[in-house]
Chains A and B, each alone.
Chain A
Amino acid sequence: MRPEIRRIQDVMERESYITDRQVATAVHLAIALGKPLLVEGHPGVGKTEIAKVLARVLDTDLIRLQCYEGLDVTTALYEWNYPKQLLHIRLEERGAASLDQREHELFSDRFLLKRPLLAAISHEGKAPVLLIDEVDRADEEFEAFLLEILSDFQVTIPELGTIRAKERPMVVLTSNRTRELSEALRRRCLYLWIDYPTLEKELRIVRTKVPGLAEQLARDVATFMQSLRQAGLSRTPGVAEALDWAAALSALGAEQLDVAVVRETLGCIVKDEDDLRTMEQMLDEGRLAAMLSLS
Chain B
Amino acid sequence: MTRSGLVAHCVNFCRVLRTRGVPVTPAETLLAARTLSVVDIGDREDIRLGLRTVLVLQRDQYPVFDAVFDEMWGGGSLDGHSARSRTTQPPPNQQRARVTLETWMRGEDPTREQRVAVRQASDREATGRRDFATFDNEQSAAFERLARRIARRLALRRSRRWKPSRRGARMDLRRTMHGSLRTGGEVVALEWRRRKIRRTRLVAICDVSGSMELYAKFLLQFLHALQNTFARIETFVFSTRLTRTTALLKHARWEQALSGVARAVTDWSGGTRIGTSLACFVEHWIDLVDRRTVVIVLSDGWDTGDPEVLGAAMEQLHLHAGRVIWLNPLMASPDYAPETRGMQAALPHVDLLAPAHSVESLEKLVRHLAI
Interface residues contributed by chain A, number (CB under 8 Å): 42
Query: Could you say which residues of chain B place their CB within 8 Å of the CB of A186?
Result: 57-58
**Pair B291/A191 contact, Cβ less than 8 Å:** no
Question: In B108-122, which residues have CB < 8 Å from any A CB?
Answer: 110
Known contacts A21-B49, A29-B35, A32-B38; is-contact A80 B177 (Cβ 8 Å): yes
Interface of B is mostly: helix
In the docked arrangement, what's the CA distance between A79 and B175, Å?
A: 12
The answer to the question of B280 belonging to the interface, with a C-beta cut-off of 8 Å to chain A, is no
Query: Could you say which residues of chain B place their CB within 8 Å of the CB of A93?
Result: 185
In the docked arrangement, what's the CA distance between A244 and B58, Å?
A: 30
Known contacts A21-B49, A22-B49; is-contact A191 B58 (Cβ 8 Å): yes
Question: In B288-316, which residues have CB < 8 Å from any A CB?
Answer: 291
**Pair B38/A69 contact, Cβ less than 8 Å:** no
Task: Write the chain A residue with the least CB distance to B49.
Answer: A25
**Pair B45/A72 contact, Cβ less than 8 Å:** no
Known contacts A29-B35, A33-B34, A191-B53; is-contact A2 B45 (Cβ 8 Å): no
Task: Write the chain A residue with the least CB distance to B162.
Answer: A72
The answer to the question of B180 belonging to the interface, with a C-beta cut-off of 8 Å to chain A, is yes
In the docked arrangement, what's the CA distance between A40 and B57, Å?
A: 11
**Pair B53/A26 contact, Cβ less than 8 Å:** yes
**Partner pick for B46 among A1, A79, A103, A193, CB 8 A cutoff:** A1
Among B28, B34, B50, the most chain A Cβ lie within 10 Å of the Cβ of B50
Task: Write the chain B residue with the least CB distance to A29.
Answer: B53
Task: Write the chain B residue with the least CB distance to A183.
Answer: B57
The answer to the question of B173 belonging to the interface, with a C-beta cut-off of 8 Å to chain A, is yes
**Pair B43/A82 contact, Cβ less than 8 Å:** no
**Partner pick for B40 among A2, A29, A139, CB 8 A cutoff:** A2
Query: Could you say which residues of chain A place their CB within 8 Å of the CB of B258?
Result: none
Is the interface on chain B under 10, 10 to 19, 20 to 34, or 35 or more residues? Answer: 20 to 34
The answer to the question of B174 belonging to the interface, with a C-beta cut-off of 8 Å to chain A, is yes
**Pair B160/A72 contact, Cβ less than 8 Å:** yes
**Pair A187/B160 contact, Cβ less than 8 Å:** no
Known contacts A21-B49, A22-B49, A26-B53; is-contact A33 B160 (Cβ 8 Å): no
Query: Could you say which residues of chain B place their CB within 8 Å of the CB of A163?
Result: none
**Pair B38/A29 contact, Cβ less than 8 Å:** yes
Task: Write the chain A residue with the least CB distance to B39.
Answer: A2
**Partner pick for A29 among B50, B160, B180, B184, CB 8 A cutoff:** B50
**Pair A33/B174 contact, Cβ less than 8 Å:** no
Contact with A along B337-357 (1 / 0, CB 8 A): 000000000000000000000
Q: B179 to nearest A CB, angstroms?
A: 12
The answer to the question of A89 belonging to the interface, with a C-beta cut-off of 8 Å to chain B, is yes
**Pair B161/A33 contact, Cβ less than 8 Å:** no
The answer to the question of B247 belonging to the interface, with a C-beta cut-off of 8 Å to chain A, is no
Q: A234 to nearest B CB, angstroms?
A: 10
Q: B317 to nearest A CB, angstroms?
A: 16
**Pair A82/B173 contact, Cβ less than 8 Å:** yes
**Pair A191/B57 contact, Cβ less than 8 Å:** yes
The answer to the question of B142 belonging to the interface, with a C-beta cut-off of 8 Å to chain A, is no
**Pair B62/A193 contact, Cβ less than 8 Å:** yes
**Pair B62/A99 contact, Cβ less than 8 Å:** no
Query: Could you say which residues of chain A place their CB within 8 Å of the CB of B38?
Result: 2, 4, 28-29, 32-33
The answer to the question of A190 belonging to the interface, with a C-beta cut-off of 8 Å to chain B, is yes
Question: In B24-62, which residues have CB < 8 Å from any A CB?
Answer: 25, 27-28, 31, 34-35, 38-40, 43, 45-46, 49-50, 53-54, 56-59, 62
Query: Could you say which residues of chain B place their CB within 8 Å of the CB of A72?
Result: 160-162
3 closest cross-chain pairs (CB), A and B? A70-B160, A89-B185, A25-B49
- A-B residue pairs in contact (CB < 8 Å), sample of 8: A2-B39, A35-B31, A40-B58, A70-B160, A89-B185, A183-B57, A191-B56, A193-B59
Residue ranges of A at the interface with B (Cβ–Cβ < 8 Å): 1-2, 4-5, 21-22, 25-26, 28-29, 32-33, 35, 40, 69-72, 79-80, 82, 85-86, 89-90, 92-93, 99, 102-103, 106, 139-141, 177, 183, 186-187, 190-193
* Given A1-B46, A80-B174, A80-B177, 8 extra CB contacts under 8 A: A29-B38, A33-B31, A89-B185, A92-B185, A93-B185, A106-B181, A191-B58, A193-B59
